[in-house]
Amino acid sequence: MTVPYEAVRARRELTVVSADGTRIHVEEYGRADGPPLVLAHGWTCSTLFWAPVVRALAADFRVIAYDQRGHGRSASPRSRAGYGTTQLADDLEAVVRAVLPGGASSATGASGASGDGAGDSAGDGVGDGYDGEKAVLVGHSMGSMTIMAAFGRTAVQERTAAVLMTSTGSARLLGSTQVLPPRFSSRRVRRAFHRQLLVSRLPLGPVTPVSRAALKYGVLASGATREQVAFSARIVHACGSRQRSEWGRVLAALDLDAELAALTAPTAVLVGTADKLTPPVHARGMAAALPNCTDLIELPGLGHMTPIEDADAVVAAVRKLAAAHLRVGAASGDVRAVDDPRTDPRTDPRTGTGTDTLTDPLTDTRTEEKSA
């Protein structure tokens, strides 16, 4: 495995406690004083998924990534009731409250305060308004769905400068998925096949040449490199079969159209034109429905794993949003957009080591912090 696909050493690790008590693993990379980015990965993935993107952004940004519940080093819900878009929103709210504590927020919900000076907010009254940093939120697949689900929370809105949603959809996933091509069966058969693909509890087993080939067909482009396939397989095969199935049930019934229409932050949408899981029809529909869509970026010939298949394009989109919408102070340096010559033809402008336990005085929930 070459450097782009190796894990990036975290500068800091935290454990955030969500609304129902689920413990969420959080990692921070890059500059402690850099403008913040919050990354949310997708179904069957983990923080490792973001390694190529983190490596490219860490020199200029404070990059925060977390494991979705039931993935990576985060805890799994004890029952099916712990799986859902509400729980995804709870977890993201807990994370942003912890890593962007700032002043008091008028919102109530789950979060642990975190980081240096976390207790400083104790003297701020509820309802005084948030006066801290804002971040660019970046989601892939289910991570973008998490952002849609969470944006209605005041604490999330207050902390969001802009959003990048990659390889995702807001509803009707089964009807458009193209793992089983339309020419081979009726729409009804394809829906049944794709639902079974999502909810199956069959273990994936060890990574083999056959499983790599199957994964490449389903989630990567035909031109994906051997390293990209191996890296994707390493991540996906690490997800437990029960967790994969429970989240698959959520995706099969997904309906976040109303939440998408209420996502008012400046938002860019990115998709690979060969994405079989969330084909471009979703991205185009989302771009039309978003109140403030800044870019629709279509990457020719790429599949569902766009941050792995073309990390440079994703990084360029993040930098463009950061340059336009993040408030960058002198301590954080100057953030400029990267001009990627490949971006313009793909873009349709719509109008760029100890442990401490800390307590949030607003929620009385806890966050454990570890320094790398």
Specify whether the CB–CB gap between 18 and 91 falls below 8 A. yes
To the question of pTM greater than 0.85 for the whole model, the response is: no
Please list the ranges in the chain whose pLDDT falls under 70.
Answer: 1, 103-128, 178-187, 189-198, 201-203, 328-372
* Surface-to-core class of residue 50, CB atoms within 10 Å of its CB (0-12 exposed, 13-18 middle, 19+ buried): buried
pLDDT at 367: 55
Confidence at residue 76, expressed as pLDDT on a 0 to 100 scale: 96
91: nearest Cα among 72, 119, 104: 72
Calpha distance 213→294 (Å, rounded): 36
Q: Give 255's DSSP letter.
A: B
The enclosing H or E element of 65 equals strand 62-66
Per the DSSP assignment, residues forming a β-bridge with 38 are: 64, 137
Q: Is 112 helix (H, G, I), strand (E, B) or coil?
A: coil
Instruction: Report the C-alpha gap between 81 and 84 in whole angstroms.
Output: 7
pLDDT tens for residues 83-111? 999 999 999 999 999 999 975 443 333 44
Helix spans in the chain (H): 51-57, 85-99, 142-150, 154-158, 173-176, 187-199, 209-219, 226-237, 241-252, 257-261, 280-289, 306-309, 311-325
CB neighbour class for 257 (10 Å; exposed up to 12, middle 13-18, buried from 19): middle
Instruction: Provide the pLDDT for residue 198.
Output: 65
Q: What is the pLDDT of residues 16-42, one digit of tens each?
A: 999 999 999 999 999 999 999 999 999
Residue 333: predicted pLDDT? 42
* pLDDT of the residue at 34: 96
